[in-house]
Structure 1
Amino acid sequence: MEPIRAVCCGYYGKGNAGDEALLACLLQMLPSRVTPVVLSGNPQETRDRYGVAACNRMSAFPLLPVLRQSQVFIWGGGSLIQDATSTLSPFYYIGLMGLAQGMGLKTIAWGQGIGPLQNKLTRQVAQRMFSRCTGVSVRDRGSASVLAQWQVPCTMAPDPVWALDPKSVLGLGHLPAPRVAVTLRSHPQLTPARLQCLTRALIDFQKATDTCILLVPFQPAQDKAIAESIQSQLPGPSHLFTLEDPRELKGLFRGVEMAIGMRFHSLIMAAAEGCRCFAISYDPKVSQLMADLEIPGWELSDLPTDANAIGTTWLEHYANGDPLSDISIQSLVDRAKIHRDLLHQFFDRFFPA
């Protein structure tokens, strides 16, 4: 039997740990008889890290032969179809999906978080592409609601990263305990004044708790300067972790008491590994996660201007907050595997062994 080739398309190879975690999940969940080909911003890095075939996501010359030699095209997970941060980005993904469908490939939209879609044209072409997919899974109620309005059937399950297998992090156990992880990201609303306020709050928090602060940039090109700025001002022990393997990134939170995070997948990873979480939301997907999991936090735009108020709130959550229960975590992990079931049912139906 000839191997089944599946082209995996997402924001891969661009240094964003959340999207790399989604790719790791997708590769973990694909049936073993499927040969993935990943469209990547850094094909060599993707080949080396995951041991899969990869080609340049922006080069048409290798891409067209890859599509011709493949049977399946998969939109990998995450917020690919949204126009809040870029009006061009969704058309890149929509264009590739349309090309694959026009070439006769079976298509799957997997683990999607849809929107915001502010542009009428984006909504129209996105609706057309989703309606032509053979299988669709989404990660939240908002995305399911959009597809329901478009009369596109879909499967809803928690974000696939809940089910990512973690790996232990070398050297973590040698750092002082207890530990608190901080994952801030660059954003126009994270002004220098707000960042300095958060830094002062962290300084006071560390003095009061005697914790080791772990600075964890999820996209180093955007986040590392922020992490370095905070670390340079902390009075106590700290460590900056730049981890390339998303499984190690998730495993990092096994050795952490509390996570203070802006990054969506940092909060999922932390909650999945039993951390108390405190969120600072810059995006509707983070706000929705806060509501779904009852994670305390603030909208970035509403961040208190008093560092003492921020630090006091963190201290209260550190002392009295609760992580998700083991039962809740297991339920979320089990339901996240519905995305795996969709893939296996799809391949069993259209490519029976």
Structure 2
Amino acid sequence: MYKVLISGFYGFDNAGDEAILQSIVSQICNVSRDIDIVVLSACPEKTSSEFKIKSVNRFNFLRIISAIRNCDILISGGGSLFQDRTSISSFWYYSAIILLAFILKKPVFAYAHGIGPIRSRFNKKLLRFVMNRVAKLSVRDQRSKTELQNIGVSREITTTIDPAFLIEPVSREESVKLLEKEMGQSIEGRRRIGFSIRFWEEEGHVDVAGIFAKVCDRVKKELDADVLLIPLHNKEDVTLAENIASLMTEKATIIKEKYTPAQIIGMYGLLDVSVCIRFHGLVFSIMNGTPVVAISYDPKIDSLMDSLGMNKVIRYGQINEDIIYNAIQEEFSRREQISPVIMKKYHEFRELAQKGMNEVISYMKGS
């Protein structure tokens, strides 16, 4: 039996990364059931239960060594694993996993990585060493490829896109049932604006909760639309959503239930406009042709919007009530015109994601 070990930001209740894992696991299982998949996870019991695969505690060094020794290939990715803006320790962790695979003479497929920002000179040298020696390397956007080339990665780099684009959302009927359960009422004939908001530490002076509370109140009063706060990273985003709701004079619905990636994506298809700081909020919106207001705290947001052909991005550090509300109004007014354009790009993205995954499958078959 062929054995695959997967390393990434898994088991942390981040809907985007769980969607990446769901995509990788589903695609591999579609090829053959005679493949043993093991995932390094912060919550191995939960990961095993949700994805019906084996999982190892990502903090148990001895178990990690054993898992690498017993695998036929290590898939590192996808997601923004190699950046030192939010955590140097995470950068070193993912590098160490690959270095252990080198020591144990196991092939590494670095898959669909989002690279950077990388500030430390040492980390740039470390990443150059690692990426020049993996068996195969793909990144999720052109910016990441350029970043690697700029630090001296000289080997072939394939450009793909986020693996989550390969997930099939649940049916509209099921999505409606889920959302009506959350809202406690029928959603027929109602307008809906969704918000996937996060706090960004580097811009700590920004009153995120206060600004979005005012925006959400205006959405409810002036657009006569229901407000949905959709946390994509549990605890952190839920706390922020609760703060926003507590400051509002109007009612908002917070999506607190734990849903599968396919269910979450399906609910994005019921929105008239989506307002996103979370990267995978953008991804899930695009997958449904939902017009989106993108607020960028990281180059990956700009990169995805550039690929979409819509480079109108609001900078996180410059947000205020009027800027965000006016952008929502604009997207709402042209939603019928822009939705087909977004859906066309989504199909292109899905094809690109499939090519990226096919490269992984092809390598596995040949190794």
Regarding TM over 0.5, the answer is yes
Structure 2 counterpart of 1:181: 194
Structure 2 counterpart of 1:156: 159
Classify 1:56/1:206 alpha carbon distance in 2 versus 1 (closer, same or farther; 3 Å): same
Once the two structures are overlaid, the 10-residue window that deviates more, 44-53 or 174-183, is 174-183
State how far apart, in whole Å, the 1-side matches of 2:221 and 2:207 are: 21
State how far apart, in whole Å, the 1-side matches of 2:300 and 2:343 are: 24
State how far apart, in whole Å, the 2-side matches of 1:194 and 1:171 are: 28
Structure 1 counterpart of 2:213: 199
Measured after TM superposition, the shift of residue 64 of structure 1 is 1.9
Structure 1 counterpart of 2:317: 301
State whether structure 2 residue 227 is matched by structure 1 residue 213. Answer: yes
State how far apart, in whole Å, the 1-side matches of 2:357 and 2:325 are: 41
The residue identity in structure 2 corresponding to 1:208 is E
Question: What is the SS of the residue equivalent to 1:113?
Answer: strand
State TM-score, norm by structure 1: 0.93
Measured after TM superposition, the shift of residue 309 of structure 1 is 4.4
State whether structure 2 residue 365 is matched by structure 1 residue 348. Answer: yes
The residue identity in structure 1 corresponding to 2:20 is L
2:290 to 268, 272, 275: 275
1:312 to 318, 321, 326: 326
Structure 2 counterpart of 1:29: 27
The residue identity in structure 2 corresponding to 1:138 is V
Once the two structures are overlaid, the 10-residue window that deviates more, 186-195 or 31-40, is 186-195
Whether the aligned pair in 1 keeps the contact of 2:286 and 2:343 (CA below 8 Å) is no
State how far apart, in whole Å, the 1-side matches of 2:227 and 2:204 are: 20
Whether the aligned pair in 2 keeps the contact of 1:210 and 1:236 (CA below 8 Å) is no
The residue identity in structure 1 corresponding to 2:101 is A
Whether the aligned pair in 2 keeps the contact of 1:12 and 1:20 (CA below 8 Å) is yes
The residue identity in structure 2 corresponding to 1:227 is A
State how far apart, in whole Å, the 2-side matches of 1:309 and 1:8 are: 41
2:16 to 18, 25, 40: 18
State how far apart, in whole Å, the 2-side matches of 1:161 and 1:134 are: 23
Measured after TM superposition, the shift of residue 146 of structure 1 is 2.8
Measured after TM superposition, the shift of residue 90 of structure 1 is 0.8
State how far apart, in whole Å, the 2-side matches of 1:175 and 1:230 are: 24
State how far apart, in whole Å, the 2-side matches of 1:182 and 1:258 are: 9
State how far apart, in whole Å, the 2-side matches of 1:295 and 1:206 are: 27
The residue identity in structure 2 corresponding to 1:158 is I
State whether structure 2 residue 305 is matched by structure 1 residue 290. Answer: yes
Whether the aligned pair in 1 keeps the contact of 2:23 and 2:163 (CA below 8 Å) is yes
Aligned residues: 346
Percent of residue pairs bearing the same amino acid type? 24
Question: What is the SS of the residue equivalent to 2:85?
Answer: coil
1:88-140 deviation line (CA, Å, top 9, x unaligned): 21111111101011101111001100111111111111111111111111100
Measured after TM superposition, the shift of residue 27 of structure 1 is 0.6
State TM-score, norm by structure 2: 0.89
The residue identity in structure 2 corresponding to 1:222 is E
State whether structure 2 residue 144 is matched by structure 1 residue 131. Answer: no
1:4 to 2, 8, 24: 2
Question: What is the SS of the residue equivalent to 1:105?
Answer: coil
1:116-174 deviation line (CA, Å, top 9, x unaligned): 11111111111111111111111001111133342121211121111222124443255
Structure 2 counterpart of 1:62: 63
Structure 2 counterpart of 1:326: 343
The residue identity in structure 2 corresponding to 1:272 is M
Whether the aligned pair in 2 keeps the contact of 1:253 and 1:275 (CA below 8 Å) is yes
State how far apart, in whole Å, the 2-side matches of 1:142 and 1:116 are: 10
Structure 2 counterpart of 1:232: 246
Whether the aligned pair in 2 keeps the contact of 1:137 and 1:342 (CA below 8 Å) is no
Whether the aligned pair in 1 keeps the contact of 2:209 and 2:243 (CA below 8 Å) is no
Once the two structures are overlaid, the 10-residue window that deviates more, 60-69 or 3-12, is 60-69
Whether the aligned pair in 2 keeps the contact of 1:203 and 1:233 (CA below 8 Å) is no
The residue identity in structure 2 corresponding to 1:204 is R
Structure 2 counterpart of 1:76: 77
Structure 2 counterpart of 1:94: 95
State how far apart, in whole Å, the 2-side matches of 1:45 and 1:156 are: 32
Structure 2 counterpart of 1:44: 45
Structure 2 counterpart of 1:253: 268
Unaligned runs of 5+ in 2: none
Question: What is the SS of the residue equivalent to 1:158?
Answer: coil
State how far apart, in whole Å, the 2-side matches of 1:296 and 1:91 are: 34
Measured after TM superposition, the shift of residue 195 of structure 1 is 2.8
State how far apart, in whole Å, the 2-side matches of 1:257 and 1:344 are: 37
State how far apart, in whole Å, the 2-side matches of 1:295 and 1:166 are: 26
The residue identity in structure 2 corresponding to 1:139 is R
